[in-house]
Amino acid sequence: MHLLLNVFPVVMTVAERAGAEGPPEVPNIVTILYDQFSSYGFAQFLHHWENVFFSVLIAILLGVVSYVASRRPAVIPRGLQNFMEWVVEGLNSFVCGILGREGSRYVPFLGTLFIYILCMNLFGLIPGMKSPSSSIDTTAALAITVFAYVQYTGVRRLGILGYLDHFAGNPRDVIGILLVPLMFPLHIISELAKPLSLSLRLFGNILGEDVLIAVFVGLGVTMVAFLHLPVGIPLHFPFVFLAMLTSVVQALVFASLSTIYFLMMLPHEEH
């Protein structure tokens, strides 16, 4: 009971500190540990690598779920295996619907990307947890990974000359050749803009919904602060459903655009 009563001042202290240092955020297990044990090395380490900690935690949880679902595969799937197969089939249909029959080779990467981002987006809605995708470092890392894989795919499938020809705008006549000095830098700029737009879009939307929820959580706690209760008025509750919707939409947008980037890089006969 004593520990429960200590939750209220800890939440208020962490929330005030977050508001002073940056956007307000709902306290999670790492920020609470840091607030209580800031002089200890483990708390400082977790606080410094907070987003990495939650990213790795989500990856481990997804790995455990995948292992459990595929540990004893049955001819007639049931339970978790049935659900996972349904998810994989849905992602395969989605990717192949854009890339065609060649798309199945990219399903493991793009499907994992969608599931991972979706789980990161939703993880912050669990009390005591945080959405790693609300950090620009996390979203930039994901976008750079997509960018690198797309460029690697282009070089591998088109060859060096074909890859350069793609950036030159595929000139096949005199006018096309004359436009190469213009088209080449434009294509390079457009390629470099893709990871920037991917990372900023996901980061901005998830951070925005987290800040919205944090503001209303703080407001609900402040309204009953005089009672010194360990809880507040759940004013943020309606926005949780909105955050669930936007989390799914943003994961789908990120995966869709990544798939389209592969489509734009693949040879034309594979479209």
In the chain, the amino acid numbered 100 is G
Per-residue model confidence as pLDDT tens for the chain (271 residues): 333 334 444 444 444 444 456 678 888 899 999 888 888 888 899 888 999 999 999 999 999 999 998 888 777 777 888 889 899 999 999 999 999 888 889 999 999 999 999 999 999 999 889 999 999 999 999 999 999 999 999 899 888 888 888 787 777 777 877 777 888 888 889 889 999 999 999 999 999 999 999 888 888 888 777 677 667 777 888 889 999 999 999 999 999 999 999 998 887 654 4
**Residue with token string 């947008």:** 253
pLDDT reported for residue 238 = 86
Compute CA 111 distance to the chain's CA centroid, rounded to the nearest angstrom: 13
The one-character DSSP state at 21 is H
**Residue with token string 């962490």:** 14
* Burial tier of 37 (Cβ tally within 10 Å: 0-12, 13-18, 19+): middle
Q: Give the Cα-Cα-Cα angle 89, 147, 102 (nearest 5 degrees).
A: 35
pLDDT reported for residue 244 = 93
Is-contact 46 54, C-beta < 8 A?
A: no
Is-contact 85 165, C-beta < 8 A?
A: no
Q: Which of 112, 160, 146 is nearest to 261 (CA)?
A: 146
Domain ranges, residue 36: 2-270
Domain count across the chain = 1
Say how many C-beta atoms besides its own lie within 10 A of residue 211's C-beta: 17
Q: Taking the alpha carbons of 127, 69, 99, 136 in that order, is the dihedral positive or negative? A: positive
